[in-house]
Amino acid sequence: MKIVVATHNEGKLVEIRHILEQDLAARADGVELVSAASLKLPDPTETGVTFQENALLKARDVTKRTGLPAIADDSGLIVDVMGAAPGILSARWAGAHGHDRANNALLLAQIEDIPDGKRSARFRCCAVLIEPSGAEHVGMGEMPGHIIRRPRGEHGFGYDPIFVPDDQPGRLDDDGRPLTSAQMTPEEKNAISHRGKALRGLVRAIDDMLDA
């Protein structure tokens, strides 16, 4: 069964594939994930004002264009001291969409004077699955943590290098510090991530589609 992931971010596609492999186990072999980018589909303008609205917009567009089931997610970083910003604007916080380094640098500059104890934040994700029949399934997830002062780690994408999740895998980095999301293995991150939690809300529907 082919499912189109409504993304032009190949890092996100890899992450979603890992999560589904963990949760579907051997049945994941029956799912072929392809990105909207690989099919040369346009990236629709995200006009929604919530994560769920944007996720539904993207998935509906892909299903309409391809006739295939589609998975889409919309997620972002919520920094408490910034009044829940950058939120739905996370991917384009510095202006250009998906410019991770610029987004991180701007956010760190904006909260530079905020004490360590007041830099709480959370990632939030809404994931949706839309079937060709029009049936829609929604999953939600959050990952609480805090923002550090300098990036650490080479894995992941987005704000991962400056975000330390509250839920840690039980090991420290080489300097004895809690891990950022970018220092975790894919398995460690997916077990606690906002996207992992949201996608797990879709697993039963995917499982049912495999049986159909």
Which of the residues are catalytic? 74
Is the CB of residue 154 less than 8 Å from the CB of residue 182? yes
Q: What is the sign, positive or negative, of the torsion defined by CA atoms of 185, 186, 189, 191?
A: negative
**Residue ranges of the alpha helices (H) in 42-193?**
51-66, 100-110, 186-192
Measured CA angle at 59 (ends 58, 60), to 5 deg: 95
Closest CA to 149 of 182, 100, 116: 116
**Distance between CA atoms of 204 and 212, rounded to whole angstroms?**
12
Closest CA to 62 of 1, 126, 7: 7
